[in-house]
Structure 1
Amino acid sequence: MSKRTLKPQIHLSLEEMQAIDEWRFENRLPSRAAAIRALIRRGLEREVSDKRNNKEATDDSEPSRQMVHANI
């Protein structure tokens, strides 16, 4: 990954900012920016994991579907 940092601008509601700040303090992160980066990283990792789990579940069901079609 590049060492260059980008500074995207986002608009958040007061409630979203308060939720981020609460999460930041509960998790002892040094800054709001660090909290936002951590939350984005966690969300992306979760998304990848969910997609991988869904693919594995689909792949597991493939042989049984093929057997059903073979018996018809």
Structure 2
Amino acid sequence: MGELSRGERLQIMLSSEELRALNTWRFAKRMPSRASAIRELLRRGLAAEGFLEAEAGQHSKDFSVLRDDAAR
């Protein structure tokens, strides 16, 4: 079986709510691993029309999987 070459490791921190949402989606879609679920979500997100690019000066804390827009 051919193996994919993935030369870069990406580490992210998630809140417990974000992790719960990821795991719920992963199990519902029968994804084999968290990594594969995250890659699939990235693929879908990047393929979506109308996504906004980050503006200059934004920080990591400005982005979340689960947005609480009421707090903004």
TM-score, with length taken from structure 1:
0.59
Distance 2:6 2:14 in 1: 25
How far residue 9 of structure 1 moved from its aligned partner, in angstroms, is 1.0
Aligned to 1:37: 39
**Percentage identity across paired residues of the two chains:** 50
Structure showing greater radius of gyration is: 1
Aligned to 1:50: 50
Aligned to 2:13: 11
Q: Which runs of 5+ in 1 are unaligned?
A: 52-72
Distance 1:5 1:23 in 2: 26
Distance 2:13 2:32 in 1: 21
Taking only aligned residues, the RMSD between alpha carbons, in angstroms, comes to: 1.8
DSSP-derived class of the 1:37 partner? helix
How many equivalent pairs are there? 48
Relative contact order, higher structure (CA 8 A, sep 6+): 2
State the 4+ residue runs in structure 1 displaced beyond 3 angstroms: none
TM-score, with length taken from structure 2:
0.59
